[in-house]
Amino acid sequence: MFDDLIIKNETEINMMSPLTWAYVGDSVYELYVRTYLSNNTNLNPHKMHIKAIKYVKANAQARILYELMNDLTDEEREIVRRGRNTENHHLPKNASNMEYMYSTAFESLIGYLYLTKQNKRLKIVLEKCIRIND
C-alpha cells in the first residue's frame, strides 16, 4: 500500500539521521499496535487507545527492545546503537532519560526496517513485540 512512498535507496537511508528512522518507526509501530488491537479486541476506540498506550510508551518500548536484543542481527544491533546514541534534545515526560534513549533506539529499528523494505523481518519483529508486551 505504501511501497510507492519510499523512494530512497538503502545507501540514502543509511545516511539519514536515526531520529528520522525513529520518527517513521514511531508511526509504523503505533499503526501496527492499533491494527492489532482493532483486529483482536472488541474494545471501543477510547479503551483501545488506553490499551495501546501500554504498548507504545517509552518504558514499554525500552523493555521490548531489551527482550529483543538477543534475536537481532548484527546489522540491527548497529541500527539500535546508532538510534540509542543519537543526541535528542527532547526531555521525556513520563520516562527516565535511559528509557527514552532505548525507546528511540527501538523506534529507529522499526523505522529502518520499514524504510529499507525489510517487510518480512519487520513483521517478525513486530509480532515479537506484541508477544513480549502481552
**Which residues are known catalytic residues?**
26
Cα–Cα distance list, 95 to 34, 56, 69, 100 (Å):
22, 12, 20, 6
Give every CB contact of residue 34 below 8 A, 6+ residues apart in sequence.
48, 52
Cα–Cα distance for residue pair 129/121, rounded to 1 Å: 12
- Cβ count near 49 (within 10 Å): 12
Report whether 110 contacts 28 (CB < 8 A): yes
Query: Which among 69, 64, 44 has a CA at the least distance from the CA of 54?
Result: 64
